[in-house]
Structure 1
Amino acid sequence: MADKPQTPLLDTIHSPADLRTLAQEQLPQLADELRAEMIDAVSVTGGHLGAGLGVVELTVALHAVFDTPHDRIIFDVGHQAYPHKILTGRRDRIRTLRQKDGLSGFTRRAESEYDPFGAGHSSTSISAGLGMAVASQQLGVKRNVVAVIGDGAMSAGMAYEAMNNAGAMDARLIVILNDNDMSIAPPTGALRTYLARLVSGPVYRGTREAAKTIVHKLPPFLHEPARRTEEFARSFFTGGTLFEELGFYYVGPIDGHNLEHLVPILENVRDAGEGPILVHVVTRKGKGYAPAENSADKYHGVSRFNVITGAQAKAPSNAPSYTSVFASSLIQEAEADDRIVAVTAAMPTGTGLDKFEELFPSRIFDVGIAEQHAVTFAAGMASEGLKPFCAIYSTFLQRAYDQVIHDVAIQGLPVRFAIDRAGYVGADGPTHAGNYDNAYLGAVPGMVLMAAGDEAELRHMVATAAAYDRGPIAFRYPRGEGMGVDMPARGEILPIGKGRILRQGGGSVAILSYGTRLSEVLAAADKLVALGLNPTIADARFMKPLDQDLIARLAQTHDVMLTAEEGGLGGFGSHVASFLASNGLLDGKLRFRPLMIPDTFVEHATQDDMYAAAGLDRAGIVTAALGALGYDEAAMKAALAKA
């Protein structure tokens, strides 16, 4: 690794108040040192790299111009906020990013007064900022509220819903559009920046207001032509017609890496009157670090890496990732059926669909950060006979729940949901945990739900989903590598609603697993065998419909029955408990214990640490089984030591 960077100016900054004592001529040096510090820190911890590098100058300018934390700055998505964290009193902990008991990888209200709103998911900042601005008005507090939205977050409908609302109000809201992929308009040099500075200033704004007064004195039939003439003149130079139509005063686009331009423009915007303003800032993702500039997708989120070479350190694995197994399995099915198409919401690489795209470029659809649209779009395709696979992380599918019910399930449309990142995700923490899809999808009539016990089962479930056409079907799988099991050459179609017995034991303990806790369940079974117990182990495969025959047989022939899942309250265990209770199977000797993710938000740590704390590792499963069998604490400790 390289030596720690020299940062003499940054060393003097302990809060934004210190930054505001610097001369403007010193800010570029501060930005350079801040960028070097961020690169060095993330090389140690891993995390989101490219987006933060792109907003270094913007972050410096914002804290130089605005009176934070009295003025509010919301970063959206929050993974852009690493430079902000360094400047706001958290530099001494920046090398604990995303580590257990360390700093969050996103903005977090409980972490700092400089984080006024948490943002792990995207496109929430304008809504939250408008709420803050209106609250300040109601409370008689004069402050600026700044929403920094970018890294794709403007592709979500919620951002435009908020802008539409804000444009009809006079609340003091400033939106900074961090355009880091040239998706709207590129900067065109000094003239464009000069014009942006001009139209953001008091002279132009005052002239514009005077012109409005003159227009109102004209005959009414000339009002609309005059308005359109002024709008055309501005949009000709600035390209901001869309935002103007939504009621925002548009400034930009401007170079987001030029502090000489950024600071005076932000000062003009800060000192402007009431009403919403949008400042369009163009940045480069990964700015200042060549590997990240040259490969923005691979350096969006990184593991630990060598600063000199950019090479990321990834532990070798003999097993493929679940995501890659999904992708290769879907490719197999698509080769045999040209009606199969894939839909992703701005995550082609994260969901493995970039591999699908290489082979079937006309059959993959990236709709942007727009999960609601993705689901209904897939429903539309299904209604015409295509076979859409909608690949969305569990945590992001939450945003499309109404569409799953209203547009897919009620109409019985065969949309296939590939739910990635099921269960705990580790370093991304509670905002990204896939803990809830078992519960929220389990409540939807007509939905078929599967969870893969290992990577071979995932391949079978992709084939099963491809063949199923009687309504919606979903299968879930976690982040990370598989178990290293032998892989079938081709997926087999599973019988709907049927599980499997993996080990037939005696009559003491039965453990019914749903999902990839299966490996820990099998390891726990080995420990129980060492204690003289011989548990029965079953893989449910399906949560909906349940394999009622299997569950009833286990309940009637065992003293203790455990369920294990990577989901929270209301999920698989709750469905099994409801079935047992409804059929009188809890009235006798059976002692039933559901093992699930606890009903609390768990902070970031490693996945293994999180599951151990939840009692969902092998030790926790053994402990639960012994407790249900009546072992007291002393006997349990002795048994665990023996196992």
Structure 2
Amino acid sequence: MSKALNKMGTAAAAEQPQKKPAARPAAVRPVAQGGGQPAGQAPGRPAAPKKPLLDSVALPQGVRDLSVEDLSRLAEEIRALIIDTVSHTGGHLAPGLGVVELTLALYNVFDPQNDRFVWDVGHQAYAHKILTGRRSRFATLRRHGGLSGFPRPEESPLYDHFGVGHSSTSISAALGMAVARDLSGGRNKVLAVIGDGSMTAGLAYEGLNQAGGMERDLIVVLNDNEMSISKNVGALSSFLSRNLSTPWMMRLKKDVEQRLRTFGRIGEELAALARRGEDSFKHFFTPGTLFQSFGFNYLGPIDGHDLREMISVFEQVKELSGPTLVHVLTKKGKGYEPAESNPSYFHGVGCFEPETGKAVKFAGCSLPSYTEVFGRALCELAAREKRIVAITAAMPEGTGLSRFADEFPDRFVDVGICEQHAVTFAAGLAKEGYRPVVAIYSTFLQRSYDQIVHDVCLQNLPVTLCLDRGGLVGEDGATHHGVFDLSYLRHVPNMVVMAPKDEAELRDMLATALAHEGPVAVRYPRGVGVGADISGPMRVLPLGKGELLRDGEDFADACILAAGSRVHPSLEAAEELEQAAGKKVAVFNARFVKPLDEEAILALAARFPKILTVEENALAGGFGSAVLELLADKGDLSSVRVKRLGLPDHFVEHGTQKELRAETGLDKNGIRAALEELLQA
């Protein structure tokens, strides 16, 4: 199965001036329309420009009435709009371009309003958004207050039938919808559109297994974007699979089996022999046996850019009953040469020049990202320690492990989109004396919670969890913010939880984690650090000890206890407040969310009458809660007033990190405002 990037760790999409959708960029290959002079046109006279179909067709219903030629024109227009928009907003370009024809074929045959569509992950649903009433707002894609980069029922209750963002959920969700339809006496179709990368996850197979066993009317469209699954692609395999699964052939096979059974035991044996013969014959030419073993009728593989063929197959599928899987071959980045040549880069991309595909360079920051610092530091440590093994879940580039994979290929493992497996696999390595480092985005590590508790922490194994994108991640929004990890990790016994204030401290924390004889989580944010010096050697930090960064005997007004990415903004807020109002505020870098530096925090609570805790994590159960628990159990809450600053008890929408931190009060200005409110209380 493919290890294609079906997750969304995108590059930052910087704010750029909006512009109206332009003509098709030069790098977009036009869909062939056929040659020759149009009938009735005078030789040499240029053809009158055709009105764009996006402007003249009532969508999405109008897709059903278009000819294949007009659908090809519409595909070209949609592709140009996606390229132009994503070049300004950033986003998941290659997946969206690869399914334009597939989306049109589906909506030509099925009813996107009454039939139910679940787009797995959802980063492949840009064409779906354009076709379902959001074309006029498409320029706001992933902008603060604009369209989400993923399907969201709140955004379009009529057409976004299920909220998505993480991979491999579509089959299970679609099966639930199919059962609900049957219980309600409905007759609509339910479709799950899932990529081959998402098929690496166990959840997809759990859904397949249940769906095949229940024999419900369910359609799974497997979007295989040329990464794996099938090498046996050609006219014969496509012909065999389609024609052995037509409704009349299905009825014929059923009738023959019933007639053979009338001959008793001999007939039963003949029927079984016929089934085995068909399976062997099809398996020789097609990859369908795997899905047939789950109880699915299998059709494919078919060309996912051949509208005529797809429409024919989907019309056929529409008449079938029971679970059916349609295997569609597409090309990531289809129609845009830069994305076709480098689909991994254009899977999730920042702003770029549509004519060339080159990234737009912005003046200013040239600092390395936390991800890059982590990757380099791990390589440095691995060169000295042969027991280090790096593990990722289909995100070697996104987690900074590409360099490690090149330098230490025998000690690098990409497990695919299998976070649960990644953690338990790491536990097995640790049990045998190795030092596994599991690099996963914070939001995706949520999927392996039971494995963290049961397989790692219960056995107190030295597994290092490196949580990239801890905190607010920006334009990918609510499905991708890593804002719960401090809460869901700190209460697990044996777990050590660290959050660095800068890139130098990240290096030290990585060295500290690998020196510790037990499970450790290091969480760090998306983006660049503050420019700390990372040229020196890494050092092992004393376990559970923070550092007082700003203090003085005359400091008597308040103290900020800050964790991770909010330490430096807290320093800036404290300094500004002193300059503006003469208030004396100390700042303490916690470093460890677990174990807390109890001695230091209790001493600060005894010195300062007011304490502000600051974290880029959900307030519920986070760092501030840990401080309050400590003061309640071992301190004197009657002598100190504590205010917690963090993320509220609701999901934060999409926007730039700067916008979202300002909105939630976690930037310098928000921290200062919280300080002023605390001091006035």
Q: Once the 2 structures are TM-superposed, how far is the Cα of residue 584 of structure 1 from its aligned partner?
A: 3.5
Kept in 2: contact 1:342–1:388 (CA 8 A) = yes
Match of 2:578 among 522, 529, 534: 529
Structure-2-length-normalised TM-score: 0.90
3-state SS of paired residue (1:80): coil
3-state SS of paired residue (1:491): coil
Q: 1:488 to 1:560 in 2, by over 3 A?
A: farther
Can you give the 5+ residue segments of structure 2 that lack an aligned partner in the other structure? 1-18, 25-49
Amino acid paired to 1:285 = K
Q: Which residue of 1 aligns with 2:622?
A: 571
Quote the Cα distance in structure 2 between the aligned partners of 1:526 and 1:185.
Answer: 61
Post-superposition Cα deviations, 1:41-81, rounded to whole Å, max 9, x if no partner, equal 11121100000111111001000010121011111120000
Q: Once the 2 structures are TM-superposed, how far is the Cα of residue 29 of structure 1 from its aligned partner?
A: 1.8
Match of 2:607 among 529, 546, 557: 557
Alignment of 1:143-542 (within 5 A): 143-150=188-195, 152-186=197-231, 188-218=233-263, 219=265, 220-272=268-320, 274-315=321-362, 316-469=364-517, 471-505=518-552, 506-530=555-579, 531-542=581-592
Moved more, 6-15 or 610-619: 6-15
Quote the Cα distance in structure 2 between the aligned partners of 1:547 and 1:14.
Answer: 63
List structure 1 runs of 4+ shifted beyond 6 angstroms. Answer: none
Quote the Cα distance in structure 2 between the aligned partners of 1:551 and 1:13.
Answer: 65
Quote the Cα distance in structure 2 between the aligned partners of 1:151 and 1:325.
Answer: 31
3-state SS of paired residue (1:587): helix
Quote the Cα distance in structure 2 between the aligned partners of 1:329 and 1:140.
Answer: 59
Q: Which residue of 1 aligns with 2:130?
A: 86
Q: Which residue of 2 aligns with 1:61?
A: 105
Q: Which residue of 1 aligns with 2:35?
A: none
Amino acid paired to 2:631 = L
3-state SS of paired residue (2:638): coil
Q: Once the 2 structures are TM-superposed, how far is the Cα of residue 282 of structure 1 from its aligned partner?
A: 0.9
Structure-1-length-normalised TM-score: 0.95
Quote the Cα distance in structure 1 between the aligned partners of 2:57 and 2:128.
Answer: 12
Q: 1:51 to 1:578 in 2, by over 3 A?
A: same
2:653 is the counterpart of 1:603: yes
3-state SS of paired residue (1:427): coil
Quote the Cα distance in structure 2 between the aligned partners of 1:517 and 1:185.
Answer: 48
Moved more, 235-244 or 562-571: 235-244
Q: Once the 2 structures are TM-superposed, how far is the Cα of residue 223 of structure 1 from its aligned partner?
A: 4.7
2:54 is the counterpart of 1:4: no
Q: Once the 2 structures are TM-superposed, how far is the Cα of residue 313 of structure 1 from its aligned partner?
A: 1.6
Post-superposition Cα deviations, 1:393-442, rounded to whole Å, max 9, x if no partner, equal 00000000000001110011110000000000110000001010000001
Q: Which residue of 1 aligns with 2:115?
A: 71
Q: 1:151 to 1:550 in 2, by over 3 A?
A: farther
Kept in 1: contact 2:241–2:282 (CA 8 A) = no
Q: 1:432 to 1:314 in 2, by over 3 A?
A: farther
Kept in 2: contact 1:378–1:390 (CA 8 A) = yes
Post-superposition Cα deviations, 1:276-327, rounded to whole Å, max 9, x if no partner, equal 0001111111111010011111111111111111011243413210000100
Tell me the matched-pair count.
628
Q: Which residue of 2 aligns with 1:547?
A: 597
Post-superposition Cα deviations, 1:177-233, rounded to whole Å, max 9, x if no partner, equal 001133110353333333333234222222222233234334144454333222222
Moved more, 9-18 or 358-367: 9-18
Post-superposition Cα deviations, 1:564-610, rounded to whole Å, max 9, x if no partner, equal 1111011111111100011242122x111111111110110111111
Amino acid paired to 1:144 = K
Q: Once the 2 structures are TM-superposed, how far is the Cα of residue 37 of structure 1 from its aligned partner?
A: 1.5
Amino acid paired to 2:331 = R
Q: Once the 2 structures are TM-superposed, how far is the Cα of residue 133 of structure 1 from its aligned partner?
A: 0.5
Quote the Cα distance in structure 2 between the aligned partners of 1:201 and 1:190.
Answer: 16
Q: Once the 2 structures are TM-superposed, how far is the Cα of residue 40 of structure 1 from its aligned partner?
A: 1.2
Match of 1:583 among 634, 657, 660: 634
Quote the Cα distance in structure 2 between the aligned partners of 1:33 and 1:382.
Answer: 53
Quote the Cα distance in structure 2 between the aligned partners of 1:215 and 1:455.
Answer: 73
Quote the Cα distance in structure 2 between the aligned partners of 1:348 and 1:601.
Answer: 28
Kept in 2: contact 1:180–1:284 (CA 8 A) = yes
Q: Which residue of 2 aligns with 1:634?
A: none
Amino acid paired to 2:108 = A
Moved more, 502-511 or 474-483: 502-511
Kept in 2: contact 1:510–1:558 (CA 8 A) = yes
Quote the Cα distance in structure 2 between the aligned partners of 1:298 and 1:7.
Answer: 34
Q: 1:314 to 1:385 in 2, by over 3 A?
A: farther
Moved more, 21-30 or 441-450: 21-30
Kept in 1: contact 2:504–2:532 (CA 8 A) = yes
Quote the Cα distance in structure 1 between the aligned partners of 2:629 and 2:181.
Answer: 48
Kept in 1: contact 2:232–2:285 (CA 8 A) = no
Amino acid paired to 1:456 = A
Post-superposition Cα deviations, 1:455-478, rounded to whole Å, max 9, x if no partner, equal 111010111111112x10010000
Quote the Cα distance in structure 1 between the aligned partners of 2:427 and 2:294.
Answer: 29
Q: Which residue of 1 aligns with 2:66?
A: 22
Q: Once the 2 structures are TM-superposed, how far is the Cα of residue 489 of structure 1 from its aligned partner?
A: 2.1
Moved more, 606-615 or 438-447: 606-615
2:671 is the counterpart of 1:621: yes
Match of 2:141 among 81, 92, 97: 97
Amino acid paired to 2:53 = L
Quote the Cα distance in structure 2 between the aligned partners of 1:182 and 1:626.
Answer: 55
Can you give the 5+ residue segments of structure 1 that lack an aligned partner in the other structure? 632-643
Q: 1:119 to 1:473 in 2, by over 3 A?
A: same
Kept in 1: contact 2:602–2:635 (CA 8 A) = no
Moved more, 333-342 or 526-535: 526-535
Q: Once the 2 structures are TM-superposed, how far is the Cα of residue 443 of structure 1 from its aligned partner?
A: 1.5
Q: Flag the structure with more relative contact order, 1 or 2, with Cα contacts below 8 A and sequence separation at least 6.
A: 2
Quote the Cα distance in structure 2 between the aligned partners of 1:455 and 1:7.
Answer: 53
Quote the Cα distance in structure 2 between the aligned partners of 1:70 and 1:117.
Answer: 13
Q: 1:122 to 1:53 in 2, by over 3 A?
A: same
Moved more, 290-299 or 228-237: 228-237
Quote the Cα distance in structure 1 between the aligned partners of 2:459 and 2:272.
Answer: 45
Amino acid paired to 2:658 = D
Q: Once the 2 structures are TM-superposed, how far is the Cα of residue 7 of structure 1 from its aligned partner?
A: 6.8
Amino acid paired to 1:253 = P
Q: Which residue of 2 aligns with 1:49?
A: 93
Kept in 2: contact 1:174–1:279 (CA 8 A) = yes
Quote the Cα distance in structure 2 between the aligned partners of 1:457 and 1:563.
Answer: 20
Alignment of 1:106-121 (within 5 A): 106-112=150-156, 113-121=158-166
Amino acid paired to 1:498 = K
Q: Once the 2 structures are TM-superposed, how far is the Cα of residue 527 of structure 1 from its aligned partner?
A: 1.2
